[in-house]
Amino acid sequence: MAGLAAAADSWLGRVARAETDSTTTRVLIDPSRRIGALDRRLFGSFLEQLGRAIYTGIYEPGSKFADSNGFRTDVMNEIRELGVPIVRWPGGNCVSG
């Protein structure tokens, strides 16, 4: 019973008592609250085989900028400079860095 009384006076209790027919939504952000570290691989990118994104984009074996595997080093350097930790497209991953 004491726990119930404490919860009723807490922030959670106030939220629980909020009216359900209200059209106003509030979001509270507490920048000092840290839940855990984020894995930087969450901020990766993906490529899709649309237009020139893959062929003549990042993969162009005949280009003077291509490495021995056909990937364009100029594009890969730009991706690294942007800090993109992982680039993914259907069929596999290309980890930069």
- Whether 2 shows a pLDDT value over 60: the answer reads no
Q: Confirm whether 87 is domain-assigned.
A: yes
Mean pLDDT of 31-54: 81
Q: Spell out the residues 6+ positions from residue 66 whose beta carbon is closer than 8 angstroms to its own.
A: 60, 72, 73
**Domains held by the chain: number:** 1
The answer to which of 13-22, 23-32, 51-60, 82-91 has the lowest mean pLDDT is 13-22
Show the CA angle centred on residue 20, arms to residues 14 and 23, nearest 5°: 105
- What is the residue range of 61's domain? 40-95
How do residues 61-91 score in pLDDT, each as one tens digit?
999 999 999 999 999 899 889 888 888 776 5
Q: Confirm whether 11 is domain-assigned.
A: no
Q: Confirm whether 1 is domain-assigned.
A: no
Show the CA angle centred on residue 11, arms to residues 7 and 16, nearest 5°: 70
Question: Of 91, 86, 76, 4, which Cα lies nearest the Cα of 45?
Answer: 86
Over pLDDT 70: what percentage of the chain?
69
CB atoms within 10 A of CB 72: 19
